[in-house]
Amino acid sequence: MKKVLVNGWPALLLLFLVASCGKEISSEEDLGQYYLKCKIGNVDKTFNFFASADKEDLGGGASSYAIIGKAVADASNFESLAFSIQLSIPFTPGTYTVADPTTDYLMIGLYNPNTTDSEKIFVSQENESDPFQVTFTEITSTTISGTFKGKLFLNNSADPNATADSVVISNGQFKLKVQ
């Protein structure tokens, strides 16, 4: 038994050092610096639980970025905000809107107010008066940030100019780690 402890101490030391380094790195990295927040109607909302910016190379020069966050950590609460952009052009800082007439990119915004009924989820449509738009101010290999705003409509809404079946998002801000 003593021989195992004597021969095993370098492995235990290495395990301790790795565990200590991991704690030190995580304490240096302030996770509070990442956020996804906005105002929906007149209510301030934050979506910092499981918040992420997922990047995917689609091949052929196309790429996709998905920004998503939940309002609470509770698995039975589905309140969340997400938007995604798929590009066939290089991704550069600037303003992108769901109403863009080109075929350079496709964008969608989504707000789930805590429902499992897909018809009660709010999604972007090509609304000319207040289209959902995102302004990307920083795009790096590790971080993405910017602002967003616009109107989202109930998934079953036939009228993209209806107000009763919509929510207005304003003061949207995000800074997330790219994964």
> Where do the domains of the chain lie?
1-30, 34-177
**What integer is the mean pLDDT of 36-62?**
96
Query: Is the per-residue pLDDT at 88 higher than 60?
Result: yes
Q: What is the pLDDT of residue 20?
A: 29
What are 111-132's pLDDT values in tens digits? Answer: 999 999 999 999 998 877 899 9
Among the listed residues 72, 59, 122, 64, the one whose alpha carbon sits nearest the alpha carbon of residue 96:
64
Read off the pTM.
Answer: 0.79
Q: What is the pLDDT of residue 22?
A: 33
Least confident of 107-121, 132-146, 152-166: 152-166
- Distances from the Cα of 53 to the Cαs of 93, 102, 169, in angstroms? 15, 24, 19
Q: Do residues 142 and 177 make contact, with C-beta atoms less than 8 angstroms apart? A: yes
Query: Is the per-residue pLDDT at 23 higher than 60?
Result: no
Element (H, E) at 146: strand 143-154
Q: What is the pLDDT of residue 103?
A: 92
As a whole number, the mean pLDDT across the chain is 83
Residue with token string 């100019």: 161
Task: Give the side-chain half-sphere CA count within 13 A for 133.
Answer: 13
Neighbours of 151 (CB within 10 A): 23
